[in-house]
Amino acid sequence: MVDDEPLIRKIVKMEMNERGAEVERHAAGDLNTERRHVTMVDTFASGPALMAALEQTEIPDYVLVDMEFQGEPTGGLLITRRLHERYPAVRIIIFSGRFDNPLSHEEDRQHRMAEIGGVVMEALRLGASAFVSKNATGGFSVENILRAIECLERGEECYFNYPVMLTLKEAAERYFAMLPGGSEGVMLSDTERSLLLLEAAGHTASEISDRLGEGEKAIQERQKELSRRLGIVNKSASRVAKALVLGLIRAGDVQFIARS
């Protein structure tokens, strides 16, 4: 497991191993099953720590990856990509509480649904096999993790668990339905979304650099990367227009600046 919260790492490992759970495994093309004992071997506070450990030990069947790392809401996806590229046989379970707060306002709810869909499809594209919630009715439970492992061991390609709103699978399907012309899903970090909103408000790269605390060259590289992922020419107007069309940002969130 990779999670930057020491208490979460301790609790999950303790509960998983004290549970002594077993799951059924179905071999491909074989109707017979075998029972497998589930053990959490180790936990890590960062992606580099995990990758270094995997160089020295037996490769696990599963790695549980926290979605949010060091304040970056989707930082776990970088770990997912690197892990899948290096060890494609490992099944990756994304572990997140990011979307657990229910929203009553319909506009906010629709925006959240689009955001969930984008994150889920990006996680699957990068190599994740399952997406589970950190929370459960009545508090934290490892049941969500074990249920994901059980489904994947039965031969299912993906598993989705989401107890508060819609299932992540439904969110992803709704997200695809929202995209014009069958475009691939695009996921934004908070920094990228802030950059687009500042562009939409009329800020220059230099002004965006000052506001986001990154060098101007780094901002320009972010802009080029966003243009590439959105499939457009490298122009701020095109980036903003495409982001609005895809629902990645909302016009109501743009705070225009007055020029003297």
pTM of the model: 0.60
Same domain for 69 and 113 = yes
Q: Are residues 156 and 226 in the same domain?
A: no
φ/ψ of 116, rounded to 5, equals -60, -45
Distance of alpha carbon 83 from alpha carbon 155, whole angstroms? 21
Structural domain including 107 reads 6-179
Cβ(150)–Cβ(24) below 8 Å? yes
CATH label of the domain that carries residue 145 = 3.40.50.2300
Burial state string for 195-220 with b = 16 or more CB within 10 A and e = fewer than 16: bbbbbbeebebebbbeebeeeeeebe
Do 86 and 41 lie in a common domain? Answer: yes
Q: What are φ and ψ of residue 142, in 5° steps?
A: -85, 0
Whether 199 and 143 share a structural domain: no
- pLDDT string in tens for the chain (260-residue length): 999 889 989 988 998 899 888 887 765 555 667 888 999 999 999 999 999 999 998 999 999 999 887 667 778 888 999 999 999 999 999 988 766 555 556 566 566 666 666 777 788 888 999 888 776 544 456 888 888 898 888 877 777 765 433 444 555 555 555 544 444 556 777 788 889 888 888 888 899 999 999 899 889 888 888 887 777 666 777 777 777 767 777 777 777 666 55
Same domain, 112 and 22: yes
Domain count, the chain: 2
